[in-house]
A = this chain, B = another copy of it.
Amino acid sequence: MTRWPFYFLASLAAMPLAARELPPKPSVADVIKASQASEWRPLDPASTLYLELPAGRVVIELAPAFAPNHADNIRALVREGYFDGLAILRAQDNFVVQWGDPDEANPRKPKTAKEKLAGEFTVPLKNDRDFTRLPDRDGYAPQVGHSNGFPSARDPKTGQAWLAHCYGMVGVGRDVDADSANGGALYAVIGQAPRQLDRNITVVGRVVDGMPLLSVMPRGPGAMGFYEDAVQRVTIKSVKLAADVPEAQRSKLEVMRTASASFKAVAEASRNRGGPWTKVAAGHVDLCNVPIPVRQGGT
């Protein structure tokens, strides 16, 4: 029996990696369960959109720290009922679902909102006051991490920070010109993170609930997944700001604070899973593989 540790080490060296048993470790679910109430924050009703579809509600959290002008303009569009009765325009597999005005010939005009805005593709580093860096390396940016609930990237050399195109992130569709958009055409990422779009698009927020209502949209038959006929399109019932919805009808959701110790533990649980199911821990996690927990609760 006393020889056991030696035997164990010798057999470890001889064993194929997959046969070694990893010690158990807390899972993401365990970390969430053990988290403190103070490690969660409610959504700000003034920066939360409800995209109401026939199948249910998609909840989007805006990121005014990264796109202040677009957040303002989207609030204005929403408050004038701009999106109500518009449609899901395209669903391209492994890419995006996009919504807006299907009538290209005679598009709806904003009443109070602006028709065009300068792109907010990056912001100065100082605007991103809540950055928590992920230690793992990234191919697309010198630094990546999370900024108050959003995956983000930064380059100290250029002094720029930006939101990263991870699954569920919401961006502003635009034409060729950088200033050709106003937030009236939005999309959510439904596949492998298209990080090549980072710094090319204004990213305005993240779907925090109801993502499956978008991700199962039938892929459109046209180029880039566009629906070609009106009958193929799902109509948007309305888009409202949570602040404008009676409290009883609001979605009660909390997001884990990404500067919290528990969120650090979520990243570690994603980076190095324990046994017994996992045989080889990755030792790394890509930015877009760190889940940003959302739970029912709060007011």
Interface residues of A (CB under 8 A from B): 17-19, 93-94, 119, 121-122, 136-140, 158, 160, 166-168, 176, 178, 191-196, 198-200, 211-212, 215-219, 270, 273, 276-280, 282, 284-286, 288-289
Chain B residues, Cβ within 8 Å of A17: 122, 158, 160, 199
Chain B residues, Cβ within 8 Å of A138: 139
Task: Name the residue on B nearest A29 (C-beta).
Answer: B223
Determine the main DSSP class of A at the interface with B. loop
Asked if B140 and A199 sit within 8 Å, CB to CB, the answer is no
Task: Name the residue on B nearest A137 (C-beta).
Answer: B139
Asked if B286 and A176 sit within 8 Å, CB to CB, the answer is no
Task: Name the residue on B nearest A155 (C-beta).
Answer: B17
- How many monomers of this chain does the complex have? 2
Partner of A199, one of B195, B216, B279, B289: B279
Task: Name the residue on B nearest A277 (C-beta).
Answer: B176
Instruction: List the 3 closest A-B pairs by CB distance, nearest first.
Output: A212-B219, A139-B284, A196-B282
Q: Other than the known A18-B199, A139-B139, A192-B193, what 5 A-B pairs have Cβ atoms closer than 8 Å? A: A121-B280, A137-B139, A191-B192, A194-B289, A216-B217
Chain B residues, Cβ within 8 Å of A158: 17
User: In the complex, A44 Cα to B1 Cα: how many Å?
Assistant: 54
Asked if B198 and A282 sit within 8 Å, CB to CB, the answer is yes
User: In the complex, A158 Cα to B158 Cα: how many Å?
Assistant: 39
Asked if A196 and B273 sit within 8 Å, CB to CB, the answer is yes
Asked if B195 and A286 sit within 8 Å, CB to CB, the answer is yes
Asked if B200 and A278 sit within 8 Å, CB to CB, the answer is yes
Chain B residues, Cβ within 8 Å of A18: 119, 121-122, 178, 199-200
Asked if B270 and A196 sit within 8 Å, CB to CB, the answer is yes
Given contact pairs A17-B158, A176-B277, A178-B19, A140 touches B284 in the complex (Cβ within 8 A) = yes
Asked if A195 and B93 sit within 8 Å, CB to CB, the answer is no
Q: Which of A168, A194, A211, A216 has the most CB of B within 10 A?
A: A216
User: In the complex, A200 Cα to B281 Cα: how many Å?
Assistant: 9
Asked if B284 and A94 sit within 8 Å, CB to CB, the answer is no
Chain B residues, Cβ within 8 Å of A278: 196, 200
User: In the complex, A212 Cα to B160 Cα: how many Å?
Assistant: 37
Asked if A286 and B139 sit within 8 Å, CB to CB, the answer is yes
User: In the complex, A282 Cα to B153 Cα: how many Å?
Assistant: 13
Task: Name the residue on B nearest A175 (C-beta).
Answer: B277
